[in-house]
């Protein structure tokens, strides 16, 4: 199955720009189904990690206030072109996904 994470890591000379778009509903648990009136249960990413091998570079602690299909942009130093980064997320239902992205020049 294709990853829910679409990453791009580009070296800008001095730092790497990491852009992520993640497919995830980020439901607040406050919305109601317009047809049935039933509350749509909360379903959102709680944690997102950016790792380089054993090193945890960044960890985002998130809630449903982040927009649907989260867009995240970060800047990372000391990462040469060709470095592999591991991106992973965990949501409130225990679902997870991860992917690897290589830094391009």
Nearer to other proteins by Cβ, of 3 and 52: the residue is 52
Tell the burial category of 24 from Cβ atoms under 10 Å away from its Cβ (0-12, 13-18, 19+): buried
Tell the burial category of 93 from Cβ atoms under 10 Å away from its Cβ (0-12, 13-18, 19+): exposed
The residue from 8, 23, 63, 104 that contacts other proteins (CB under 8 A) is 63
Build a one-symbol-per-residue string for 23-62: x at contacts with other proteins by CB under 8 A, - elsewhere: ----xx-xxx-------x-----xx-x-x--xxxxxxxxx
The residue from 6, 43, 66, 83 that contacts other proteins (CB under 8 A) is 66
Nearer to other proteins by Cβ, of 65 and 105: the residue is 65
Judge contact between 13 and 103, C-beta under 8 A: no
């Amino acid at each position: 199955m294709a990853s829910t994470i679409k990453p791009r890591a580009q070296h800008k000379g001095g730092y790497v720009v990491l852009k992520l778009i993640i497919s995830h509903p980020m439901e607040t648990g406050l919305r109601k189904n317009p047809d049935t009136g039933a509350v749509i249960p909360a379903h959102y990413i709680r944690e997102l990690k950016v790792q380089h091998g054993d090193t945890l570079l960044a960890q985002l602690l998130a809630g449903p206030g982040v927009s649907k299909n989260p867009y995240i942009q970060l800047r990372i130093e000391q990462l040469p072109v060709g470095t592999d980064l591991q991106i992973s997320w965990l949501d409130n239902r225990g679902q997870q996904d991860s992917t690897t992205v290589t830094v391009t020049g």
